[in-house]
């Protein structure tokens, strides 16, 4: 069964801080079944853009809509049923178990005071199994490594049941094996109709699993298209100010390496 729940769209987004434009006329849309990788140097405005698309920041100009409905007209609970967020870092104030943290993703469905039902418990266990963190389920979240916490937050987003996943550097803190398994998981979710927007500092990951890539530079989207169209050596040089070249394997995989 597909999860597609409409298009999330930002149009003409403008956001200022003091005299600086953090976002400067950004247009970006995410459709069901897409994995959209957003790349940009530190300070380019990636996290700010995500927060606008989530309705957590109100831009000074432009609009954000979900399937044509302005986000500003939707309640936080209604939004949480359709959009899930995986932040870059999170510290729990209490030593909740991993299962309890994942269970917080069900709050939009049963509210903060009602006891979770069978469907909630089933969704939690399914998300834990999907991320392969069953061995962590009973452990305190505060005792986990950074990578284990990140997997827990992704499981929480899946348990939420939203059709749109917005992830701020989801591979942060994950070892190589977990990174590859997570990329495979995202591909399966997109095939099931989820729309996924993720920021990343790894062009190779975007080449490996993204269906679209957008480049954010100085508050503007300077490129938006397929990975092979957008991710060129020249684009990476302009974005990160580093010389690279592309290596291609006999199997057709590509990777960026430092030039020379």
pLDDT per position as a tens digit, 145-203 = 888 888 899 899 999 999 999 999 988 878 888 888 889 889 989 999 999 999 999 99
pLDDT score, position 250: 84
Alpha helices of the chain — where are they, by DSSP H?
46-53, 76-80, 98-103, 107-110, 118-130, 146-159, 176-191, 203-209, 227-230, 233-240
Q: Residue range 128-152: average pLDDT? A: 91
Asked if 13 contacts 61 with a C-beta cutoff of 8 angstroms, the reply is yes
Q: Above 50 in pLDDT, residue 2? A: no
Alpha helices of 40-175 — where are they, by DSSP H?
46-53, 76-80, 98-103, 107-110, 118-130, 146-159
pLDDT score, position 18: 84
Asked if 204 contacts 255 with a C-beta cutoff of 8 angstroms, the reply is yes
Tens of pLDDT, residue by residue over 66-81, are 999 999 899 988 899 8
Q: Residue range 102-128: average pLDDT? A: 88
Q: Distance between CA 96 and CA 137 in Å, rounded?
A: 10
Q: Residue range 110-120: average pLDDT? A: 80
Asked if 31 contacts 65 with a C-beta cutoff of 8 angstroms, the reply is no
Higher confidence at residue 171 or residue 1? Answer: 171
pLDDT score, position 241: 92
pLDDT-based confidence at residue 217 (cuts at 50, 70, 90): very high
Angle (nearest 5°) at CA 193 between 191 and 194: 100
Q: Distance between CA 48 and CA 46 in Å, rounded?
A: 5
CATH superfamily of 1-81+202-260: P-loop containing nucleotide triphosphate hydrolases (3.40.50.300)
Q: Residue range 53-65: average pLDDT? A: 94
Q: How far is CA 85 from CA 121, 193, 197, 240, 259, in A?
A: 20, 17, 10, 26, 36
User: Treating both helix axes as pointing N-terminal to C-terminal, what angle do 118-130 and 146-159 enclose, rounded to 10 degrees?
Assistant: 140
Q: How far is CA 202 from CA 38, 104, 138, 220, in A?
A: 10, 30, 32, 19
pLDDT score, position 115: 79
């Amino acid at each position: 069964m597909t999860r597609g729940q409409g298009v999330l769209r930002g149009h003409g987004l403008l956001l200022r801080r003091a005299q600086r434009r953090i976002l400067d006329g950004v247009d970006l849309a995410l459709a069901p079944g897409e994995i959209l990788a957003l790349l940009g140097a530190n300070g380019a405005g990636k996290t700010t853009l995500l927060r606008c698309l989530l309705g957590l920041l109100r831009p000074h100009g432009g609009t954000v809509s979900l399937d044509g409905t302005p986000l500003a007209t939707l309640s936080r609970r209604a939004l949480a049923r359709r959009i899930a967020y995986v932040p870059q870092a999170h510290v729990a104030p209490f030593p909740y178990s991993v299962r309890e943290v994942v269970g917080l993703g069900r709050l939009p469905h049963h509210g903060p005071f009602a006891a979770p039902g069978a469907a909630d418990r089933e969704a939690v266990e399914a998300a834990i199994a999907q991320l392969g963190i069953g061995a962590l389920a009973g452990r305190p979240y505060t005792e986990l490594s950074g990578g284990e916490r990140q997997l827990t937050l992704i499981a929480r987003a899946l348990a939420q049941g939203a059709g749109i996943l917005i992830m701020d550097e989801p591979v942060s803190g994950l070892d190589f094996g977990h990174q590859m398994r997570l990329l495979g998981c995202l591909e399966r979710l997109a095939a099931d109709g989820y729309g996924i927007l993720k920021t990343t500092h790894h062009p190779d990951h975007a080449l490996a699993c993204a269906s679209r890539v957008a480049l954010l530079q100085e508050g503007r989207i300077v490129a938006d298209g397929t990975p092979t169209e957008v991710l060129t050596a020249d684009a990476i040089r302009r974005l990160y100010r580093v010389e690279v070249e592309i290596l291609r394997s006999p199997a057709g995989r590509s990777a960026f390496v430092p030039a020379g």
